[in-house]
Structure 1
Amino acid sequence: MNEEDYKSPLPPRRPNLDQSLGENEVVKPVEVVEMPKVSSETTVEKEAVVAGVKPKINLPIKKFFIVGGILAILGLVVFKIILPMLGGRTNEPVTLNYWGLWEDAGIMQGVIDEFETKNPNIKINYVVNQKNDYRTRLIGRLAKTGTDNSVPDIYRIHSSWLPMFDDYLASVPTSSVKTIQLDTDYYDVYKKDLMVKGSFKAVPLMFDSLMLFYNKDLLDAAGKDLPKSWFGLEATAKELTVTNENGGIEVAGVAMGTTENVDHWSDILGLMMQQNGVSWTANEAQDKEKIQSILKFYTLFLTQDQVWDNTLPSSTELFANGKLVFYFAPSWRIFNIGEMNPNLNFGVAPVPQLPTLANVALDKVESGEADGALTNRHWATYWVEAVNSKSKNQQEAWKFMEFLTSKESMEKLFTTASQVRSFGEIYPRKSMAASLNSNLKVKPFLDVANFAQSGYMSSRTFDDGLNDLGMIKYFEDAINGIVNENKTAETVVETVILGMQQTANKYKLGK
């Protein structure tokens, strides 16, 4: 893979008429009563076959026909009316269209084959999509009506896209929530992100978050420890930045300060906003000063500290080349770096945190002496699987989702993916975390998963909507104004807040 790739029951049977009498029952002969002779002119009452006596009827047989008729009618009602209302269906063949992203068909095919073997009436048509315009193409296809076979029954979206797909998200059935163990075995971030008005709207197959990558050789050579706070990161980055005689940066301390060449810069800002408690609906009275401070701090790595500049290559490239000490990225960048420089000696650590106690010396915060002096919030960014609320095959779709999210299926997917890259998608289940502890580059992600939160500043979702053209665009313009046009955080913050409010209203965030 190259870098861009990552980025119904039937009615009851009728009884056998031949078996309606027991073996020991004796069939009594019918008593024949001789008709009285009458003349041709005599009128005989229809009922008076025997004067004053009506003909006998066999009561058990009469009851049988009544009960059998009732059962037949009930069976017909259940089969024709009730079962369709409940989503039940016969064993007629069903094909589920599954729109995937990132994972190749070869990785998915093994579990798909196993599911189809166990459910021969259900076929899975897995389609791998290209990332560009995926969100808009998907929305357009879901909006189609009728019997278009190209409309997906199941599809992958980014967790931050739920507000944009509200009309097409089927609720996870209560029985599936229990089977999948969404309430009990998944990290808290999923409940916060994927539950809308009391119902889950999607299920995760993976977890990912923003982490601090670091060059072990550069850090060890300087005798420095990993920073715990943002201020510790700033101090260490300044010390480890190396410039040439012309003032150009030879080794950058940390990739922060710009938007053009800092991969995942929007995730960094989103993380800072979460740690500062900024609302995505941007309450001006409460959030203005916080956003202003975030903009100032982020840009000072270029404007003041000069540990980064806009002439450098992308942060991913510079880190892979061993010329960057600290670099922020999600887990899939590990694959990119390994391909670009297999010999790079690097590690993965939790992101810096924000001090919570006033008047505490930085050295005490960094050493850990000041217990509870830091926030513990991390930035989650991940993809989920959803079922089309307009699909006529929802019952089968959730059956497949239950199978796909089982521990056994997740393990098989991870193992298959590990044959073509360093590791598969990180497990979203808490009970499976320990099985990945031996992977020192994966373990740090799981160590912080219980404390992760997400938001609407996720990079590389290619959504042309809530993230890219919404929240991110306003912050991008603000940072570029500070860095390239000598604007101040005070002068750009109003536009940022207004843009956040407009975006929140457009996508009904917080409602």
Structure 2
Amino acid sequence: MLKKRSWLFSSKLISIFLLAVFLSTSGFSGCKLLSQAEQERIKPITLNYWRVADDTDAFSEIIADYQSQHPNITINYRKFRLEEYEKELLNALAEDRGPDIFSIPQSWLTAYQSKLEPMPAEIQMAYQYEKGTIQKQTVVELRTKKSPTLREIKEKYVDTVFNDVVIDGQVFGFPLSLETLIMIYNKDILNQSGISQIPTSWTDEFQGAVAKTTRYETETKVIQSGTALGTGYNVDRSFDILSILMIQNGATMLSGTKPTMFNRITKEGVRGSVNPGLEALQFYTDFARPSKDVFSWDALMPSSFEAFLNGKVGFFFGYNYHIPQIRSRSRVNFGLAPIPQIPNNPIRNYANYSVEVVSKKSAYMTEAWDFVLFMNQPDEIKKFLAKTRRPTAQRALISTQLEDEDLYPSVSQALTAVTWYKGYDIASAEKAFKDMIEQYLVLTDENKINDILNVANSKISQTLIKPQQ
């Protein structure tokens, strides 16, 4: 009897063992045996992502979509204040505690190039999904995808993106959006002054509108400014404004990557030999000269944006990021329009945008680049743009934003937008422009005009030279 029970017990053990083997090899266990490579690729990892502009909810849907394909990857998003961002970023990168992905202005790309990992030619990622009907089974599949080619990048993004993010044949990042310099105007001031049409040209139309909307207490004291232009340090984005005036007027800002050439005489155009950079500087500073009909601004006034918020400026030049601040901080009845152009000259506009980049020190560069590319897929980028109300950088989406009152001025200019600075110190370059403006305003010897341009040109040229490590 004991022998019979013992035999029955042994038979049950053998049956259980055989069943376990069957389940583990037939897929009924719900988990396929993974190779060592597959196990390595689905280990839990965290990608740290740093930015300035947007709150976490701008990325919540995109991150959820990404994690549905890669549940082992956590995206830790952190937003910084603008004034603290670069210092914290540089310190963190130097101490090897920096983010895997971060966002920088386009004008920082050259300076940060040594800290960035360029886009790889291809990316291999592990994708997890379930299959089976009777018993669900988690399957891991390694897929290798080709990264976008240079031709594909040219076709997908507006021209300035390709010109900015591709350095020496390598791609260093992609933008999620792109803003262009726009004209923001006070409707009430224009209506009270009888301005029925928004100026589209700088000469005559814009100058005439400024003269009609400016109010004076004395010949040298303005109490309502037609526009906030003419000075260096109290005009928001004066570097951008003067840059686009020079570019529209035909100035060559750079020859390749060096040296700067905005101080040169050129024979381009029908006017013969002219200095387009100097002409642009003269046009800009006229708005701060009491002797000119367009005098409307001076160095003693508050910042141009604060003056606009207070209802004291007719035309302000800024970007879409100013719009939420105007709505939250003032009661100004405002409108938006593309910036004026120079008649008979090629249409040119000025771009201002940030680029999502991958740190060279990231332990997960492949995954980081995969997420950057994932964010820029059409279905995903639409979610970001809808949440943030930002203008697109992608050609295919421009037509979808042209009917939006807030986005139209900026996005309608994207195809003709440019940037020019590709040096190592944008802050010093901007200071050189501001100093040039202020020095020109107080110049008494006309023979020294070119000296002022040459000094500014020299200072900016120095910032194009790579600093010694």
- Judge same fold: TM > 0.5, yes or no: yes
1:456-501 CA deviation, whole Å, 9 max, x = no partner? Answer: 39xxxxx9x62112x1111222222233565753341221121122
Which of residues 193, 211, 214 in structure 2 aligns to 1:238?
211
Structure 1 pair 487–389 and aligned structure 2 pair: CA distance change class (3 A): farther
Q: Counterparts of 2:264 and 2:222 in 1: how far apart (Å)?
A: 40
Q: Give the C-alpha shift of residue 201 in structure 1.
A: 1.0
* DSSP-derived class of the 1:182 partner: helix
Decide whether the 8 Å contact of 1:466 with 1:507 is kept in 2: no
Structure 1 pair 486–333 and aligned structure 2 pair: CA distance change class (3 A): farther
* DSSP-derived class of the 1:162 partner: helix
Q: Counterparts of 1:202 and 1:108 in 2: how far apart (Å)?
A: 18
- Aligned: 1:479 with 2:437: yes
* DSSP-derived class of the 1:474 partner: helix
Q: Give the C-alpha shift of residue 199 in structure 1.
A: 2.2
Q: Give the C-alpha shift of residue 246 in structure 1.
A: 6.8
Q: Give the C-alpha shift of residue 126 in structure 1.
A: 1.4
Structure 1 pair 273–487 and aligned structure 2 pair: CA distance change class (3 A): same
Decide whether the 8 Å contact of 2:177 with 2:385 is kept in 1: no
- Aligned: 1:492 with 2:466: no
1:41-93 CA deviation, whole Å, 9 max, x = no partner? Answer: xxxxxxxxxxxxxxxxxxxxxxxxxxxxxxxxxxxxxx99xx89xxx952112
Task: State the partner residue of 1:278.
Answer: 252
Which of residues 379, 389, 394 in structure 2 aligns to 1:429?
394
Range 291-300 or range 245-254, more displaced: 245-254
Decide whether the 8 Å contact of 1:274 with 1:453 is kept in 2: no
Paired AA for residue 457 in structure 2: I
Q: Give the C-alpha shift of residue 247 in structure 1.
A: 5.1
Task: State the partner residue of 1:248.
Answer: 221
Decide whether the 8 Å contact of 1:242 with 1:251 is kept in 2: yes
Q: Counterparts of 1:325 and 1:438 in 2: how far apart (Å)?
A: 24
Which of residues 90, 100, 106 in structure 1 aligns to 2:57?
106
Paired AA for residue 155 in structure 1: F
Task: State the partner residue of 1:321.
Answer: 310
Task: State the partner residue of 2:14.
Answer: none
Task: State the partner residue of 1:211.
Answer: 182
Question: Normalising by the residue count of structure 2, what TM-score does the alignment of the two structures yield?
Answer: 0.76
Q: Give the C-alpha shift of residue 133 in structure 1.
A: 4.8
Q: Counterparts of 2:386 and 2:177 in 1: how far apart (Å)?
A: 14
Q: Counterparts of 1:426 and 1:285 in 2: how far apart (Å)?
A: 34
Decide whether the 8 Å contact of 1:163 with 1:507 is kept in 2: no
Task: State the partner residue of 1:385.
Answer: 356
Decide whether the 8 Å contact of 1:481 with 1:487 is kept in 2: no
Paired AA for residue 260 in structure 2: A
Task: State the partner residue of 2:22.
Answer: none
1:243-293 CA deviation, whole Å, 9 max, x = no partner? Answer: 135753222111111123211111101112322232232246547933333
Decide whether the 8 Å contact of 2:390 with 2:407 is kept in 1: no
Q: Give the C-alpha shift of residue 375 in structure 1.
A: 2.4
Decide whether the 8 Å contact of 1:97 with 1:152 is kept in 2: yes
Q: Counterparts of 1:166 and 1:98 in 2: how far apart (Å)?
A: 18
Q: Where in structure 2 are there 5+ consecutive unaligned residues? A: 1-34, 122-145, 267-273
1:428-472 CA deviation, whole Å, 9 max, x = no partner? Answer: 222222332332121121111000001339xxxxx9x62112x11
Q: Counterparts of 1:313 and 1:495 in 2: how far apart (Å)?
A: 27
Task: State the partner residue of 2:285.
Answer: 299
Q: Give the C-alpha shift of residue 179 in structure 1.
A: 12
Q: Counterparts of 1:255 and 1:295 in 2: how far apart (Å)?
A: 15
- Aligned: 1:466 with 2:425: yes
Structure 1 pair 324–182 and aligned structure 2 pair: CA distance change class (3 A): same
Task: State the partner residue of 2:415.
Answer: 450
Range 262-271 or range 283-292, more displaced: 283-292
Structure 1 pair 223–330 and aligned structure 2 pair: CA distance change class (3 A): closer
* DSSP-derived class of the 1:244 partner: strand
1:170-215 CA deviation, whole Å, 9 max, x = no partner? Answer: 2223423269953322111111111112222101101101111122
* DSSP-derived class of the 2:59 partner: helix
Q: Counterparts of 2:414 and 2:454 in 1: how far apart (Å)?
A: 34
* DSSP-derived class of the 2:41 partner: coil
- Aligned: 1:308 with 2:297: yes
Q: Counterparts of 1:402 and 1:166 in 2: how far apart (Å)?
A: 19
1:385-404 CA deviation, whole Å, 9 max, x = no partner? Answer: 00123323121112211221
Range 296-305 or range 88-97, more displaced: 88-97
Paired AA for residue 110 in structure 2: P
Paired AA for residue 443 in structure 1: Y
* DSSP-derived class of the 2:393 partner: coil
Range 332-341 or range 203-212, more displaced: 332-341
* DSSP-derived class of the 2:315 partner: strand
Q: Give the C-alpha shift of residue 301 in structure 1.
A: 1.0
Decide whether the 8 Å contact of 1:139 with 1:165 is kept in 2: no
Decide whether the 8 Å contact of 1:251 with 1:323 is kept in 2: yes
Paired AA for residue 105 in structure 2: H
Q: Which has the larger radius of gyration?
A: 1
Which of residues 319, 326, 330 in structure 2 aligns to 1:330?
319
Which of residues 355, 370, 374 in structure 1 aligns to 2:345?
374
Which of residues 334, 342, 350 in structure 2 aligns to 1:354?
342
CA RMSD of aligned residues (A): 3.0
- Aligned: 1:167 with 2:114: yes
* DSSP-derived class of the 1:92 partner: coil
Q: Counterparts of 2:78 and 2:63 in 1: how far apart (Å)?
A: 12
Q: Counterparts of 2:390 and 2:111 in 1: how far apart (Å)?
A: 25
1:338-386 CA deviation, whole Å, 9 max, x = no partner? Answer: 11224x332222212234xxxxxxxxxxxxxxxxx13200000100100
Q: Where in structure 1 are there 5+ consecutive unaligned residues? A: 1-78, 356-372, 418-423, 458-462
- Aligned: 1:151 with 2:98: yes
- Aligned: 1:408 with 2:368: no
* DSSP-derived class of the 1:311 partner: coil
Structure 1 pair 183–234 and aligned structure 2 pair: CA distance change class (3 A): same
Structure 1 pair 277–484 and aligned structure 2 pair: CA distance change class (3 A): closer
Structure 1 pair 193–300 and aligned structure 2 pair: CA distance change class (3 A): same
| Paired residues, number | 391
Structure 1 pair 203–389 and aligned structure 2 pair: CA distance change class (3 A): same
Q: Counterparts of 1:272 and 1:507 in 2: how far apart (Å)?
A: 30
Q: Counterparts of 2:76 and 2:251 in 1: how far apart (Å)?
A: 43
Question: Normalising by the residue count of structure 1, what TM-score does the alignment of the two structures yield?
Answer: 0.70
Q: Counterparts of 1:119 and 1:180 in 2: how far apart (Å)?
A: 29
1:406-434 CA deviation, whole Å, 9 max, x = no partner? Answer: 222222223334xxxxxx22222222223
Structure 1 pair 323–130 and aligned structure 2 pair: CA distance change class (3 A): closer
Paired AA for residue 450 in structure 1: L
